[in-house]
Amino acid sequence: MQEHLDMLTARSSSGSSSISGGRAVGGSGARAAATPSTVGEAAPRSSSKRAASASGAGSSRAQEKFLERVDSDARRLLADRAEAAQRAQYAARADKKVCAMCGREQTFEQYTKKIGQCQQSGCRGALFKPKFVWNEVATSFLERLDRKAHERELSLARIRRVRCV
């Protein structure tokens, strides 16, 4: 508002135009059109400023849409990172299931979707089973354990005999 008062006082002191009856008289036509009719009124705004002020509610809606996009991008990024971590964890697993017919490992997608049958055409829907089932390896494992314990006892007995001699 101080700008407008300064502008009016500068014009009235130069004598190029005077304000009478709410309209500017004299001076250039462009200046007269831009001069406010009263001291308290503001000069007319440009069309872009007018559009921005008229769409005040629209700009807040645009801000909301922007924030929604940023939020959805952040959620998607977190979900992608979580999935990548799960994939890496699954890849590091030693107990992946395999097809009983072809021996193919269960993929991460099949694991997450809980698909329990092999999708290969030659397998005819054979079930995925763990690579190592305790019942299948228990007897051979226990036999090896006993054999190693017996070998250890024999080697200790040989060491004792050598030390005694």
Whole-angstrom distance, CA of residue 146 vs CA of residue 140: 10
Sign of CA dihedral 115, 119, 124, 129: negative
Q: Choose the weakest-confidence range: 1-10, 95-104, 117-126.
A: 1-10
Q: Choose the weakest-confidence range: 21-35, 44-58, 64-78.
A: 21-35
Place of tokens 């014009």: 11
Q: Is the pTM of this model over 0.85?
A: no
The answer to whether residue 147 scores a pLDDT higher than 90 is: yes
Can you name the residues that pair with 18 across neighbouring β-strands? 25
Q: Which amino acid is at 48?
A: S
pLDDT digits (tens, 9 = 90+) for 72-117: 999 999 999 999 999 999 999 888 999 988 989 999 999 999 999 9
Once rounded to an integer, what is the mean pLDDT over residues 60-72? Answer: 93
Place of tokens 């089932």: 133
Structural domain boundaries in the chain: 2-47, 132-165
Whole-angstrom distance, CA of residue 70 vs CA of residue 137: 54
Whole-angstrom distance, CA of residue 33 vs CA of residue 161: 122
